[in-house]
Amino acid sequence: MSCSVSQVGGAAARRLIVLKFGSSVLSEPARFGAAAREVRREIGAGTRAVVVVSAMGQGTEQLLSAARAACPDPPGALLGALLSTGEEASVALMTMALGAVEVDATALSTSDLALKTAGPVDDADPIDFDMDRVESLLGLHDAIVVPGFVGRDGLGAPSLLGRGGSDLTALFVGHALAAERIRLVKDVAGVYASDPNSGDAGPPLPRVTWREAEEIGGGVVQGKALRFAAGRGVGFWVGGMETEAGGGGTWVGPGGIS
């Protein structure tokens, strides 16, 4: 099958969703196809999508290990530049996979997205991105694929949003674009009352507050991302791929455990 793209309906005046796929979901090359089909399902519902991706599988850990083998204390900017290659590769792979399922998608590199950050280069906070460019592309394509986790500091040096930082990328971009829905797609079905790997956690909770998600969520969502969302009232969904697991996952926002 060709990996060229074809339009799936007009892009004008459609709802916007942000979908984030983490490393645990994109665990191997074949999983990009499954993720692309999940995006296709959303596009088929008449929605444009911003797709945020992490590095594939253990890619970040492997690059970090390689950096430390070359230099016990790698410089922050060089380390950020190295680690960002994992996200850049995922952007390319996801865009190819979307083309293979006939979703009209385009890719934005770290430089294209121009996500500006403040704070430490290894645990930075996003403060801005090229919103005009993103909105313009959303008027031309059904989906745009962007890298999570990485940005550029005030001097233009590569920066990182901390472990799990793709969650923060998705929430920051979704909030700025006033997305109708933000979904953090994980390798679990949602947020549980206890460790889902314990065997007796029961089903995922239907809804939790941002604080509850941080306190009982077992690190399913990055803590810094949860605090960002709480500070701005950004509700979002956490769960697995609906095309595989069914159900809507856990709603994180106002309301509390139910």
Say how far apart CA 106 and CA 98 lie, in whole Å.
Answer: 9
| Paired residues of 185 in beta bridges | 21, 239
Helix, strand, or coil (residue 48): strand
Q: What is the pLDDT of residue 4?
A: 39
DSSP structure string for 85-116: HHHHHHHHHHHHHHHHTT--EEE--HHHHT-E
Instruction: Give the CA angle between residues 194, 200, 201 to the nearest 5°.
Output: 30
Closest to 22 in 3D by CA, of 238, 242, 177: 238
pTM for the full model? 0.90
Are the beta carbons of 87 and 53 closer than 8 angstroms?
A: yes
One digit per residue, the tens of pLDDT, for the chain of length 258 reads: 444 333 333 334 579 999 999 999 999 999 999 999 999 998 887 899 999 999 999 888 899 899 899 998 888 888 888 988 999 999 999 999 999 999 999 999 999 999 999 999 999 999 999 999 999 999 999 999 999 999 999 999 899 999 999 999 999 999 999 999 999 999 988 998 876 666 666 788 999 999 999 988 778 999 999 999 999 999 999 999 875 555 579 999 987 665
The total of other beta-carbon atoms located within 10 Å of residue 227's CB is 14
Q: What share of the chain is helix, strand, coil (3-state, %, to 5)?
A: 40, 20, 40
Query: What domains, with CATH codes, occur in the chain?
Result: 15-185 (3.40.1160.10)
